[in-house]
Amino acid sequence: MTLIDRYKRPADLPARIPVFPLRGAILLPRATLPLNIFEPRYLEMIEDVMSGARVIGILQPIVSGDDDQESPIEKTVSLRSVGCAGRVTSYQELDDGRLVITLTGIMRFDCLAEAETDKPYRIKSASYDRFASDLTEGLGEEQVDRQNLLRVLKTYLEVNRLKTDWNTIQRASNEFLINALSVMCPYGPEEKQALLEAKDLRARAEVLVALAEIDLASNGSSGTTLQ
């Protein structure tokens, strides 16, 4: 059963989900996020979700600029108000006790109250209603300025000497391309959150282009010269 078949409406997702606070990391609908799990609290979380709904929320913590913790230990650390729920679609146990998993994004959610629990990880009540359109695959793709997105992306890759399979990129759907780039791009927490909270695919593509053009300008290059 595919995600599209499994989750047709917000009520199909659990109202309370374990959350994985990760600085500088986001998930988006139908994009994938590979995770290397080694901390005991998150090993326990994965074991628990695999026997249940297999759904986890990815949320960014709100931390100060000099705090370099990727995932704060303290449960009192504030979390962003918007995250994305994903399903564990790949699971591998390694000989050293680590777990390698892949999360596939389902839909974004608004964080509500935090559940009291004796578990070492955090559990949040989630409201998905505001993001019900996330369940419609490809919604708004036709409104994306694909030519401009590809032009700026190609310039960015060339300036930064990054290799990629350009033929694969050209064949990808607008939704896959935009959401995958948003998850993988090497930007900071604020920029990542802006990509996550973008209203629709068109807005997210515009944020991606703006961020790439800022980087190009800072390197003395322009994203508007490539024909």
- The domain that contains 26 carries what CATH number? 2.30.130.40
Number of domains, the chain: 2
Phi, then psi, of 162 in degrees rounded to 5: -105, 130
Give tens-digit pLDDT for 84-127: 999 999 999 999 999 999 999 999 999 999 999 999 999 999 99
* pLDDT tens, position by position, 2-15: 888 899 999 999 99
Summarised one tens digit per residue, pLDDT across range 119-156 is 999 999 999 999 999 999 999 999 999 999 999 999 98
Rounded CA-CA distance 15/124 in Å is: 8
Q: Does pLDDT of 221 surpass 70?
A: no
**Could you list the residue range(s) of the whole structural domain that residue 63 is in?**
3-135
Question: Would 227 be classed as within a structural domain?
Answer: no
Which H helix or E strand runs over 105? strand 99-114
Residues 168 and 106 grouped into a single domain: no
pTM of the model: 0.91
Three-class DSSP labels, 178-195:
HHHHHHHCCCCHHHHHHH
Asked if 36 and 95 sit in the same domain, the reply is yes
40 occurs within a structural domain: yes
Determine the 3-state secondary structure of 114 from DSSP.
strand
Domain identity same for 110 and 162: no
Asked, for residue 72, whether it belongs to a domain, the answer is: yes
